[in-house]
Structure 1
Amino acid sequence: MEIQLRDYQKAASDKAVAFLLNPRIKHNGLIVIPTGGGKSWIIADIANRVNDNVLIFCPSREILIQNYEKMQKICPFDCSVYSASLGQKQIAKITFATIGSAINHKELFNHFKYVLVDEAHLCNPKEGMYKEFFQSMRCKIIGLSATPYRLSSSRDFGSMLKFITRTRPCIFSEVIYQVQISTLLDMGYLAKLDYYAMNPIGWNELNLKVNTNGTDYTDKSVIREYERIDFYGFLVHIVQRLMNPKSGVRRKGILVFTRFLKEAERLTWSIPGTAIVSGETPKKERERVLEAFKAGEIPVVANVGVLTTGFDYPELDTIVMARPTMSLALWYQIVGRAIRPHPNKEAGWVVDLCGNIKRFGEVKDLRLVDGGNGKWAVYSNNRQLTNVRF
């Protein structure tokens, strides 16, 4: 079946195929596509066009299913899934796999010449399963990511976000294609977002303490600030207002991101029908809750530490960011849950209760900038966010 790719998706696929098939190129490449930009279609088109064995790594069963379904629409033949979490371990010409399942059977994949990695920023170039797997193979690799940076900490240099082509060592050494978030917004491929900064009265970010490696705020300091200003009551008040607005249309679904279970529990006690999804939620129960949420049967889902990637619900129109963070990747992934367009959605709302908009800006302002000689960096409103010390 022939799928009509968008211009930038076709351009990304063209660059990738040329890169993979060029025998003179020995290093690995990176493609940067914004959240909601359709990486699944690009992956499927690349795999279909190279006409060789292609191994596609996906970081979770949800993302694997999404990518595999797109592949089936382009080319349903010679495709398989190798993932214990999905109960399938088959190898074909085009194989979708999770690294946890493949790592213990590396010898089964020695014949693969090409590897595509979705959410490539999850590959640790210094250690871990991806590094071990790639070292055992002779293959050319292309990674795809919306957030191409990793947190790096050292005693001598402190903490910083490093663009993944600039880490030492690195797995992906060249950006072969990228498209800006603002470009896709201007073209109408992403939903318009309205931002609302609503810090509670008395909120003081100076009371938050940074952890020892400089990567985020400590649990202890966040909890102390929450309790000092009754953040829990404020969160309930805001969600109730969103559910029953004095003017305008009622929001179709409210997804609340919390850091701790306590905020989520307060919502369930105060707002009937609210459900909690966390890392402790059994898989079947999580799937049931999310399907009911999409069907409008559950008005509010309080999410504790999950649903930042792989949650595909274009109709979602309201995000409540009820946690402070120093992580640009986390901020962008959370906001990205509302950026997918849908005919019934005029604009997505991002309601921030913890100063994150001030810290990072709106995601449309994030820009990838090539500083020359491959020195890529991410900027927001002319402020460099990667490869600078916190």
Structure 2
Amino acid sequence: MIYKLRPYQEECVKSISDYINSDRHDPVLVIGPVGCGKSILIAEAARLMGDKTLVLQPSRELLIQNYCKLTSYGIPATIYSASCGKKELSNMIYATLGSIKKVVGQLKEMGIRNVLIDEAHAGYSPEDGSEFMTFMNELKPRKVIGFTATPCRLKNMSIGQTSYSQLNFITRMRPVYFKNLIHVIQVEEMIRQEFWTPLKYETWDFNGDALKLNSNGSEYTAESISEAVRKNGLNNLILRRLMVLKDICRSILVFMDSVESCNTAAEWINAKICAGMAEVVHGGTPKKQREAIVERFKSGGTQVVFNYSALGTGFDHPGLDCVVFGRPTFSFSTWYQAIGRAVRIKDGKDSAMVVDCCNNSSRFGDIRGLSIENYKGYGWGMFVNDNLITNIPMGDMVTKTDLDIKAAKKDRRRGLAQGVTAAPVPGRPDHPLGSTLMAFGKYCGWMLHSIPVSYFKFINETFDWDNGRNKEIKEYIDFLIKNNRL
């Protein structure tokens, strides 16, 4: 079976093909929003690369999803993953890192030379000595392409005694493995081409005073989340809202703060509303039981699924028309991936509802405005509308206008701006020091012959020139005075 690619997918595959057929050997990234059909893009990349290719996934669920997409093309492949119960080597291998790293010597002997990495931002640490870097340094692949919807990692930072959390863009971190991007699919593209389900937001007030970050600043502690949920009486409010949503939405996925909350909520729904209406999935749900629950949910046999630490990344259910996010989170990836479960398109589904029970959108903004841009004068960053959200302390406000001002100041300091900062003021007499760059102040980076005389008059009257500093500037000012220009 050959899939008919969507227009934005065709453009992305062309970029992938150009990289594969180039002389480049640097590890590169492809960025695509949740719901863009990443498993298809990976399958296309694997098809273009041909054999001798390894595809890495962080979880069993993503591995199966990606593997099935490739084999539906009629391309043979094998699975090497303990969590899947299969360990078969071939010229096209879908694997989890924890399993395949043990046979890296055999991969080298087989001539595996290409690596594709799904969810490249997660679980693939670029730190020297990490599981990932040890594996890649030994394998030494020729071509590496990473795929992700969230090219950032949350990191705890500090200045002096002050610590804070910061989302760092994956190419702007040190150490760095993926240094370059070859293609970005924007959310706006998918919305414009009608491949993203329109979302309707419902945001609740939430008192987060009880919330505390964990030791690395990446998420709130489980204890503080539970305490905040209890103080807000949140779980009862969610159940009351579900009494209405069940008559509006066909398929509802609810993210809760704990397994206990999931079980209690499902028991109440099944006892008070309709038996079998709700089920629970969590990280400890046995594989076969989980598969059966998911199948009932997708087929419409179950209307509501409560989940904890499951059904986020990689869960594909196009019929899902409501996500209830019932816990606070400090993780952009967790929030984005959860909301992204509802954006997949399906015939008969004209919109989807997002119920933000804990006002998480106040931290992350509206994901419909998310963009990844190589912004002029700044470089790569993630933006929500005009607000930068990467490489700044979380909670700080930096806009594109702020970046424009900063870039202009940088240009001025470096003397890069052409014209006004470089061209002499009309009628200004020549002097050997005219092209010297101003080293401070309002006109820092400007050539001396381009600076208004009013500024020279100001600094001449206010500066102490006896300290011996800035002799060249003083000499130029004296030149202007001598020629009756000041």
Q: Name the TM-score, length of structure 2 as normaliser.
A: 0.75
1:160 aligns with 2:166: yes
**What is the CA deviation profile of residues 99-141 of structure 1, one whole-angstrom value per residue up to 9, with x for unaligned ones?**
1110111112111111100111112111532222111112121
Tell me which residue corresponds to 2:113: 113
Tell me which residue corresponds to 1:308: 312
Q: Name the TM-score, length of structure 1 as normaliser.
A: 0.92
User: Secondary structure of 1:165's match?
Assistant: helix
Q: Distance in 2 between matches of 1:136 and 1:259?
A: 41
What one-letter code is carried by the residue in structure 1 that aligns with 2:8?
Answer: Y
Contact 2:155 2:216 in 1 (8 A): no
What one-letter code is carried by the residue in structure 1 that aligns with 2:137?
Answer: Q
Residues 357-368 of structure 1: matches in 2 within 5 Å? 357-368=361-372
Q: How far does residue 67 in structure 1 lie from its aligned partner after superposition?
A: 1.2
Q: Distance in 1 between matches of 2:32 and 2:90?
A: 27
Give aligned pairs, total: 380
What one-letter code is carried by the residue in structure 2 that aligns with 1:297?
Answer: G
Tell me which residue corresponds to 2:125: 124
The 3 A distance-change label for structure 1 pair 228 and 4 is closer
Q: Which runs of 5+ in 1 are unaligned?
A: 245-249
Q: Distance in 2 between matches of 1:21 and 1:373?
A: 30
1:176 aligns with 2:175: no
Tell me which residue corresponds to 1:46: 45
Q: How far does residue 155 in structure 1 lie from its aligned partner after superposition?
A: 4.2
1:150 aligns with 2:150: no
State the structure with more CA Rg: 2
1:8 aligns with 2:8: yes
Q: How far does residue 373 in structure 1 lie from its aligned partner after superposition?
A: 7.9
Contact 2:13 2:41 in 1 (8 A): yes
Q: How far does residue 2 in structure 1 lie from its aligned partner after superposition?
A: 3.6
How high is the sequence identity, in percent, across the aligned residues? Answer: 34
Tell me which residue corresponds to 2:386: 382
Tell me which residue corresponds to 1:185: 191
Instruction: Return the match for 1:213 from 216, 225, 228.
Output: 216
After superposing on structure 2, the runs of 4+ consecutive aligned residues of structure 1 that deviate more than 6 Å are none
Q: How far does residue 144 in structure 1 lie from its aligned partner after superposition?
A: 0.4
Q: Distance in 2 between matches of 1:56 and 1:265?
A: 36
1:104 aligns with 2:107: no
What one-letter code is carried by the residue in structure 2 that aligns with 1:296?
Answer: G
What one-letter code is carried by the residue in structure 2 that aligns with 1:36?
Answer: G
**What is the CA deviation profile of residues 1-24 of structure 1, one whole-angstrom value per residue up to 9, with x for unaligned ones?**
44322222222222222223322x
Contact 1:149 1:163 in 2 (8 A): yes
Contact 2:207 2:232 in 1 (8 A): no
1:223 aligns with 2:222: no
The 3 A distance-change label for structure 1 pair 89 and 209 is closer
The 3 A distance-change label for structure 1 pair 11 and 374 is farther
Q: How far does residue 97 in structure 1 lie from its aligned partner after superposition?
A: 1.2
Q: Distance in 2 between matches of 1:258 and 1:229?
A: 14
Which has the higher relative contact order, 1 or 2, with Cα contacts under 8 A spaced 6 or more apart?
Answer: 1
Contact 2:155 2:217 in 1 (8 A): no
Q: How far does residue 183 in structure 1 lie from its aligned partner after superposition?
A: 1.1
**What is the CA deviation profile of residues 164-191 of structure 1, one whole-angstrom value per residue up to 9, with x for unaligned ones?**
1111111111011001112101101111
Contact 2:8 2:189 in 1 (8 A): no
1:279 aligns with 2:283: yes
Contact 1:29 1:172 in 2 (8 A): yes
Q: Distance in 1 between matches of 2:165 and 2:181?
A: 23
User: Secondary structure of 2:209's match?
Assistant: helix
Contact 1:277 1:301 in 2 (8 A): yes
Tell me which residue corresponds to 2:397: none
Q: Distance in 2 between matches of 1:85 and 1:210?
A: 31
Q: Distance in 2 between matches of 1:331 and 1:382?
A: 20
Q: Distance in 1 between matches of 2:188 and 2:68?
A: 28
Q: How far does residue 372 in structure 1 lie from its aligned partner after superposition?
A: 4.8
1:240 aligns with 2:240: no
The 3 A distance-change label for structure 1 pair 2 and 212 is closer
| Root-mean-square deviation (Å) | 1.8
Q: Distance in 2 between matches of 1:20 and 1:88?
A: 29
